[in-house]
Amino acid sequence: MKLKFREPSAEARRAVCRAALYGEKHDPEARIRKVTGHRYARLLNSGNAAILLLAHRLEGPLLVPDQGGWRGFMRIPEITGMEVLTVKTDLGLLDPEVLDARLTETGASALLVTSFAGYTAEQPIRELADVCRSHGALLVEDASGSVSDPLERLCNGKISDIIIASTGAPKTVNAGGGGFISTSVPQIVQQDMLLSALKADPYVRAAVALELEVAERNLTETLRACSYLKENLEGVLHPDKRGINVIIPSSDPRGDVKRLRKVINADGRSIFTPCPSYDRVIESAVAVEVKNLDVGSLTPENLEAMAELISSTMGATRPR
């Protein structure tokens, strides 16, 4: 079994070279607007830059999940003095009724949530958006893992008020750097010195433009692979939810990760994350980062071998 770590495509790398050597220009914002359905889009230098822009544009407080998000959700708004509050989840998954009560309690102006809780379970984005609107709050979706969702339930501007994403590696839009923000609220992307300071360079623009063309394939194949692994591994979290990684409870997560890295790697790089981790779940577990793999590696033979190796390696450390 030979697995390849996900890297920007050869076409994207060539586009970066042409932008550097010949000044070739690209318009990734047009493609982003087409994908999200929003009126406005801005390419930025990172996904974190999009969070920083939001923290400057929105009034607080800001609600975020108590786990299964991104650590920058809480750390970056602190730079601007924005108050960040958490909402209780079920291993990252938000319950619309719990969100409704928390919005009533806090009067938060927005909810910031990833499309997939911990990358492993699809959030009920439409239901969450309905709750937010009933409170006059904005739904901000971090769609780093869900750009070009074939079912159009995620990264959809008809549902989410604001969509942000990282386009660094390894992501669904795998440009090796950059990020974006899209919305139909003009004040969010109003041109000023802050937005100018956060803009992406021409080389990132070139890579993002090319990688957006293959994002749907990256996502579709990764979702398919995770569905197979969830069906063939015992005890996984959120087994019936779409996701782009697989999280398995473990009584010895760091030991399991060390052992798994000896038998499964991608070009010598790890595809395993020990938990607890706010970015995944705050339980003792191992995350199998299928999203980090080149989709060409996600063959039936490789997935079958991965499932067998993971099961045999982690068998003794599964919680009973």
Please give the backbone phi and psi of residue 226, each rounded to the nearest 5 degrees, phi first.
Answer: -65, -35
Cβ neighbors of 166 (< 8 A, separation 6 or more) are 46, 47, 48, 50, 144, 178, 179
Q: Which residues sit opposite 139 in a β-bridge?
A: 111
CA neighbor of 293 nearest in space, from 258, 252, 244, 248: 244
Instruction: Tell me the domain boundaries of the chain.
Output: 10-214, 215-317
Q: Domain 10-214 class?
A: alpha beta
Sign, CA torsion 231/235/241/242: negative
Q: Are residues 212 and 28 in contact, defined by beta-carbon separation less than 8 angstroms?
A: yes
Q: What is the pLDDT along the chain (320 residues), one digit of tens a residue?
A: 899 999 999 999 999 999 888 888 999 999 999 999 999 999 999 999 999 999 999 998 999 999 999 999 999 999 999 999 999 999 999 999 999 999 999 999 999 999 999 999 999 999 999 999 999 999 999 999 999 999 999 999 999 999 999 999 899 999 999 999 999 999 999 999 999 999 999 999 999 999 999 999 999 999 999 999 999 999 999 999 999 999 999 999 999 999 999 999 999 999 999 999 999 999 999 999 999 999 999 999 999 999 999 999 998 445 54
The CATH class for the domain spanning 215-317 reads alpha beta
Choose among 15, 38, 21, 3: nearest CA to 212. 15
Residue-wise burial string across 274-296, b where 16 or more C-beta atoms lie within 10 A, e elsewhere: bbebbbbbbbbbbbbbbbbbbbe
Q: Which residues pair with 116 in a beta bridge?
A: 122
DSSP count for the chain of H helices, then E strands: 11, 12
pLDDT at 315: 80
DSSP letter for 74, please: H
